[in-house]
Chain A
């Protein structure tokens, strides 16, 4: 133990053996309250939506090209994989939308106490489920 910060991490257990002190609890240790799950999900959906912009870019490029190019993009989006991606993208977008509004409300200094955290969190989950389904029901009805 040359480093004092390392030395501070060493202690004796109840049997008198030298052991490393445990680190502070991390995501493997904590139970997952809704606030933590949604915080992680906000990031994950943000990154996923970033990947999803590739699909948007392809669609716009195809629309600027020939009928064939556009039809190819439309065909892919209408295929099983395309529809699955689009559904995932819709869910991620709707979640990130409501979760983002929750963040903006916090930025305004509102809703910081623990019960409000939980309530708004479950509100985001429900709103995401309802609106994602609504978008697809209406979308498929129009289609």
Chain B
């Protein structure tokens, strides 16, 4: 009469609610990591050239360099992209190697908090110089 049994959904409602699977945002992490990676390609090149250019220069040269709107904006973009990318990457590493759920979540949150804090410190420093 009826066909062979089949399963429409392989994941329990609890599994979905816990955030371990896709709750319509499954590819967001992956996509954000690629976007920040793409952004960091030119920004990293620019930063390396800038650091070479600035090597051995005195404090006021660095301040002058950061005080143009273009440099300041690029630096802010670099900081945001770097720490976002770092936090996403570290999360993947932690999730792969830390198996105990509480420790894993604690470590991910700690790293994320640290990244946000470091990014803010960098942003405030750069703005203080450049504005």
Chain A: residues with CB nearer than 8 A to chain B?
43, 46-47, 49-50, 53-54, 56-57, 60-61, 63-64, 67, 70-71, 90, 93, 97, 100-101, 103-104, 107, 135, 138-139, 142-143
Contact = CB atoms under 8 A, between A and B. Distances in A.
Interface of A, helix, strand, loop or mixed by DSSP? helix
B62 A63 contact: yes
Contact of B93 (A47, A54, A70, A90): A47
Interface of B, helix, strand, loop or mixed by DSSP? helix
A107 B66 CA distance: 35
Interface residues of B, number: 30
A104 B118 CA distance: 27
B109 interface: no
Most B C-beta atoms less than 10 A away, residue of A50, A57, A139, A143: A50
B127 to A, nearest CB: 9
Nearest to A64: B125
B34 A107 contact: yes
Nearest to A63: B62
Interface string B35-58: 001101100100010011101100
B63 to A, nearest CB: 7
Given A46-B93, A47-B93, A93-B44, A53 B82 contact: yes
A63 B121 CA distance: 12
B116 interface: no
A100 to B, nearest CB: 5
A97 B44 contact: yes
Contacts of B44: 93, 97
